Structure 1
Amino acid sequence: MASALMIQGAGSDVGKSLIVAGLARAAMRRGLRVLPFKPQNMSNNAAVTVDGGEIGRAQALQALAAGVEPHTDMNPVLLKPETDIGAQVIVQGRRIATARARDYAAMKPSLMGAVLESFGRLKTRADLVLVEGAGSPAEVNLRKSDIANMGFARKADVPVVVVGDIDRGGVIAQLVGIKTVIDPEDAAMIRGFIINKFRGDPTLFDDGYRLIETRTSWRGFGVLPYFSRANELPAEDALGLGDARKPGQCRIAFLALSRIANFDDLDPLKLEPGVDLVMVRPGEAIPGDVRLVVIPGSKSTRGDLAFLRAQGWDIDLLAHHRRGGHVLGVCGGYQMLGSSVADPDGIEGPAGETPGLGLLDVKTVMSAQKTLTRAKAVHARTDQPIDAYEIHIGHTDGPDRARPFASIDGAPEGAISADGRVHGSYLHGLFTSDNFRKAFLAQMHIPATDQGYRSRVEGALDALADHIDAHLDVEGLLAMAR
């Protein structure tokens, strides 16, 4: 049976996912078979697994760091928000319900069995299981039914290290406060802490570091400087896509939908030196000088159609198209491009039908059955291979399907408008295929390099492991796992 170590956070977005990925790569390079695990994740950024289910994208990246295929056991409970108060509940890779927050709180204790079952299977297949928490153990109001942090750590008897983010300020209060508010038996599971995202001279924090050790009696495992290559790894949060602007380069815009999903489709575009990827935020207009507008995936197609219209983006898209611009809709974005989206059974929300943008002559009907598959496709216009995956509900058909975007095993996939400037596809991850990305962008006179996207991600993971080895007590962390 494998040993295990859990990385929890003093809050959300403190860097837990990247630290687990870096530790996984560092441990793998020491000859250990490592498997990642997150009991519960909340994300609309999902990956299709080797066993035909779905898990959070962060766990898929951690699996890549560990040199293994992603599996549904790595993230047994995945919540995919559909509204402000409700989410799709995925258990061991399969949707079991859509639940409001209060209903899910009542459901959580019944899911601990599936969590422990998946964790147990991973332990039989590994030397080390690295576990990532969710949110913070300081959320003591949620402790009674917790399956993501201390509730899991106590049940599975896994030692915990807590990560604090010094970049956002207040890291001493974050860590000391956790020790103060949590149950003493929970606090006994915490064996140490890590300070993350430090900028500047780390010796200036020596006194603060010692104060945390004294006030908590936890061991410090190091101060980790800000990792500058984090933007080369698949984004955990869509906001990270809008950070690296490159004025003067060819502009591609994408719409920040309210229920944006699988937004890491855009990561390879962000890394192209000749591309300035522009996030169009709510209340902003689509810039008039972009060559391509991408409508990404959505967890609520009809809801995001209403959101899109509320921003005036429907008018902007029509103007962009009239100027000769190109539009690409991926998954939910593809569905929005058609003439209508019908949900007769209320799968994604209230039953009904919503007019689409009318840029493609297709219609979509939602159905309960979800498509979850990896796909090897061929782009129709350029004959370039696309290594991708599908994760969607609904069926799309209509006259523009006679001009498919791609083919899968000879069958048509997606649609292209009669003028050839509006493209729709269910293929996620399409831009990770280097030859396709270069050929597709060339159609719009957008330059792309020959750089291998996957090799660049691998290089960033190696650099992350080097970074963690240089600044943290990795041997101490591995020795503490049990």
Structure 2
Amino acid sequence: MAKSIMIQGAGSNVGKSMIVAGLARACVRRGMSVRPFKPQNMSNNAAVTQNGGEIGRAQALQALACGVPPHTDMNPVLLKPETDIGAQVIVQGKRTATLKARDYAKAKPKLLGAVMDSFQRLSEGTDLVVVEGAGSPAEINLRAGDIANMGFAEAAKVPVVLIGDIDRGGVIAQMVGTHAILPSADRAHITGFAINKFRGDVSLFDDGMTAIADHTGWMPLGVIPWFADAWRLPAEDVMDIASKKGGAFKVAVPRLARIANFDDLDPLSSEPDVSVEIIEAGRPLPADADLILIPGSKSTISDLAHFKAQGWDIDLQAHVRRGGAVLGICGGYQMLGATISDPDGIEGPPRSVEGLGLLDVETVMTPHKRLALSNAVHTDSGAAVEGYEIHLGSTTGPDCDRAWLDLDGRPEGAQSHDGRIKGCYLHGLFSADSFRAAYLKELGGESRQTNYAADVEATLDALADHLETHLDIDALLTLAK
């Protein structure tokens, strides 16, 4: 049975996912067999696994850091928010229900069995499981039935290392306050701590580390400086999506309220001659954009209403009149059509709504979710693409006769007569260097990033080096049980 250690945070977005990825890569380079695990994740940025399920994108990146394929056991419970009060519940890779927050709280204790089954399977035949918590254990109002933090640590008898984020300020209060508010039984699981995202001379926080250690009794494991190349790794959380200033070729991306599977943006952001601008609600789509990319959505119809409420439909029409290009992926593809119908009420009440009308296609929502790792060929350039499909609904219409991808032997996608407006269901297109170069060249841009996958691998190695320098990994591994 593997040893395990759990990385929890004194708050959300403290860098847990990145630390788990870097720690995993560091341990793999030490000759260990490592697996990542997150009992419960909440994200609309999902990855499709070889065993036909879906997990959080962060666990897929952590699997890459471990040098193993992603598996549904790495994230047995995935919550995909559909509304402000409800989420789709994915258990061991498969959709089981859509529940409101109050109903999910009642269902959590029943999910612990699936979580523990996955953890036990993952622990077999490996040296170390690095577990990632969710949010903060200090949210004691959520402790009853918890499976994400201390509830799991207690059930699996896994020691915890607590991470604080100094960049947002008040980190001593974060750490000492967490110690003070936790019940004694939960507090006992925390054996060490580290501080993340420090800017400047880390020795200036020596007294702060001493103060935290004195107040908590936890082992200090290090102060981790800001990792400047974090943007080169695929973003896990919607909070991490950011504009990236590059060259003159501008890609404008409207931030949908339920944006999903936005990893399509990461390879474009890596291009030196491409600027990716995230357009927040209330701002117009920029008139100088070369490409407007409408990303995936967890709730296509409601995000279409959100899109129109910002006036982006008017901006998009003006962009097209100026000769600009448009690409819709998955939910964005569905929005570009004439209508979206939801006869079974999958995304709310049964209804049919008008789309953006830029492609002559129609989408009908169906209960079956397609989850598949897929290989494709870009028909114009012959470039090979490896991607994934993760969507409800099917799209048909005259513009599908101009499919621009051959997807495992079948036509995929649709485009306008002049080819400037395109849509498809395949995520991961831009990770293929040859396709990305061909597509940018078609629009008058240029690609100078020749190996995106190698760049991600090199960044994971740099992250591991960063943690080897600033985190006492030897001491951390002595805490693992």
- Asked if these proteins are the same fold (TM beyond 0.5), I'd say yes
TM-score, normalised to structure 2, is 0.99
- Equivalent position of 1:396 in the other structure: 395
**Deviation per residue, 1:158-196 (Å, 9 max, x gap):** 000000000100000000001100110110000010100
**Contact 2:374-2:408 within 8 A present in 1 as well:** no
**Contact 1:241-1:270 within 8 A present in 2 as well:** no
Measure the CA separation in 2 of the matches of 1:274 and 1:126.
Answer: 42
- 1:450 offset after TM fit, Å? 4.3
Q: Which moved more, 1:350-359 or 1:37-46?
A: 350-359
- Equivalent position of 1:274 in the other structure: 273
- Equivalent position of 1:443 in the other structure: 442
- 1:240 offset after TM fit, Å? 3.3
* Structure 2 SS opposite 1:245: coil
- Equivalent position of 1:114 in the other structure: 114
Q: List aligned pairs for 1:183-332, cutoff 5 A.
A: 183-246=183-246, 249-332=248-331
Q: List aligned pairs for 1:410-421, cutoff 5 A.
A: 410-421=409-420
**Contact 2:272-2:449 within 8 A present in 1 as well:** no
* Structure 1 SS opposite 2:241: helix
- Equivalent position of 1:20 in the other structure: 20
Measure the CA separation in 2 of the matches of 1:476 and 1:354.
Answer: 58
Measure the CA separation in 2 of the matches of 1:233 and 1:464.
Answer: 10
**Deviation per residue, 1:347-373 (Å, 9 max, x gap):** 122211111001011100011100000
- 1:237 offset after TM fit, Å? 2.7
**Contact 1:9-1:162 within 8 A present in 2 as well:** yes
Structure 1 regions of 5+ residues with no counterpart? none
- Equivalent position of 2:170 in the other structure: 170
Which amino acid letter does the alignment assign opposite residue 198 of structure 1? Answer: F
Measure the CA separation in 1 of the matches of 2:305 and 2:36.
Answer: 38
TM-score, normalised to structure 1, is 0.99
- 1:236 offset after TM fit, Å? 1.7
**Deviation per residue, 1:38-97 (Å, 9 max, x gap):** 000000000001111000000000000000000000000000001111100000000000
**Contact 1:45-1:261 within 8 A present in 2 as well:** yes
**Contact 2:197-2:227 within 8 A present in 1 as well:** yes
**Contact 2:386-2:432 within 8 A present in 1 as well:** yes
Which amino acid letter does the alignment assign opposite residue 17 of structure 2? Answer: S
Measure the CA separation in 1 of the matches of 2:315 and 2:239.
Answer: 22
**Contact 2:284-2:315 within 8 A present in 1 as well:** yes
- 1:239 offset after TM fit, Å? 4.4
**Deviation per residue, 1:267-289 (Å, 9 max, x gap):** 01111010111111100001111
Q: Which moved more, 1:442-451 or 1:361-370?
A: 442-451
- Equivalent position of 2:64 in the other structure: 64
**Contact 1:162-1:190 within 8 A present in 2 as well:** yes
Aligned residues with identical type, % of pairs:
61
Which amino acid letter does the alignment assign opposite residue 334 of structure 1? Answer: Y
- Equivalent position of 1:135 in the other structure: 135
Query: Which contiguous aligned blocks of 4+ residues in structure 1 show a shift greater than 3 angstroms?
Result: 238-241
* Structure 2 SS opposite 1:391: strand
- 1:211 offset after TM fit, Å? 0.5
* Structure 2 SS opposite 1:153: helix
Measure the CA separation in 1 of the matches of 2:228 and 2:263.
Answer: 18
* Structure 1 SS opposite 2:144: helix
C-alpha RMSD over aligned residues: 0.8
* Structure 2 SS opposite 1:70: coil
Q: List aligned pairs for 1:367-378, cutoff 5 A.
A: 367-378=366-377
Measure the CA separation in 2 of the matches of 1:179 and 1:316.
Answer: 51
**Contact 1:241-1:267 within 8 A present in 2 as well:** no
- 1:238 offset after TM fit, Å? 3.5
Equivalenced residues, count: 481
Measure the CA separation in 2 of the matches of 1:93 and 1:173.
Answer: 37
Measure the CA separation in 2 of the matches of 1:442 and 1:81.
Answer: 36
**Deviation per residue, 1:9-65 (Å, 9 max, x gap):** 000000000000000000001111100000000000000011110000000000000
Measure the CA separation in 2 of the matches of 1:349 and 1:27.
Answer: 46
Measure the CA separation in 1 of the matches of 2:449 and 2:476.
Answer: 39
Measure the CA separation in 2 of the matches of 1:262 and 1:314.
Answer: 22
* Structure 2 SS opposite 1:144: coil
Q: Which moved more, 1:380-389 or 1:178-187?
A: 380-389
Structure 2 regions of 5+ residues with no counterpart? none
The yes-or-no answer on 1:423 pairing with 2:422 is yes
Measure the CA separation in 2 of the matches of 1:450 and 1:34.
Answer: 30
Q: List aligned pairs for 1:99-110, cutoff 5 A.
A: 99-110=99-110
**Deviation per residue, 1:247-284 (Å, 9 max, x gap):** x5111101100000011110011110101111111000
Which amino acid letter does the alignment assign opposite residue 264 of structure 2? Answer: D
* Structure 2 SS opposite 1:90: strand
- Equivalent position of 2:37 in the other structure: 37
Which amino acid letter does the alignment assign opposite residue 303 of structure 2? Answer: D
